[in-house]
Amino acid sequence: MTLRETIDTHIKTLQDAQKDDILSQVQDLLGGAGLDVSVLSSLLPQPSTGRKARSDAGVKQAPYYRNPDDHSQVAFKRGKKPGWMRELIDSGMKIEVLMIENQK
């Protein structure tokens, strides 16, 4: 065993002993107050269960783009671009032209 491994093992042993000492102190304090250790678990924050929902999830979005040739065709800023929009961009039209605020 190298010197480094010996030191790491000794540190781990000391940390474990310190944890055990602190836990026994906490148990003594709780026992003196007539409480159980399970009370502490309800006070601790619960772990996250997954991804946080988007702040704008479920909010109906206003159209952001419009086909200049057919005003009934609109697109939104989020999501996949519709076919008519991809065709216009592929034909060389700038996406800024399709923005509703730029159309009169």
Q: What is the pLDDT of residues 4-18, one digit of tens each?
A: 999 999 999 999 999
- Higher-confidence residue of 28 and 39: namely 28
Categorize the per-residue pLDDT at 103 as very low, low, confident or very high, splitting at 50, 70 and 90: low
| Model confidence pLDDT, tens digit, residues 42-88 | 778 878 778 888 787 788 888 999 999 999 999 998 889 999 999 99
Interacting residues of 9 by C-beta distance below 8 A, sequence separation 6+: 1
Label the pairing between strands 65-66 and 74-75: antiparallel
Q: Which residues pair with 99 in a beta bridge?
A: 65
| Rounded alpha-carbon distances, angstroms, from residue 6 to 3, 11, 73 | 5, 9, 72
| Rounded alpha-carbon distances, angstroms, from residue 74 to 67, 80, 93, 96 | 6, 12, 16, 14
> What pLDDT is recorded for position 3?
93
> What pLDDT is recorded for position 104?
62
> What pLDDT is recorded for position 57?
78
Q: In angstroms, rounded to a whole number, what is the distance separating the alpha carbons of residues 67 and 69?
A: 5
> What pLDDT is recorded for position 72?
92
pTM, to two decimals: 0.44
- Higher-confidence residue of 3 and 49: namely 3
> What pLDDT is recorded for position 19?
94
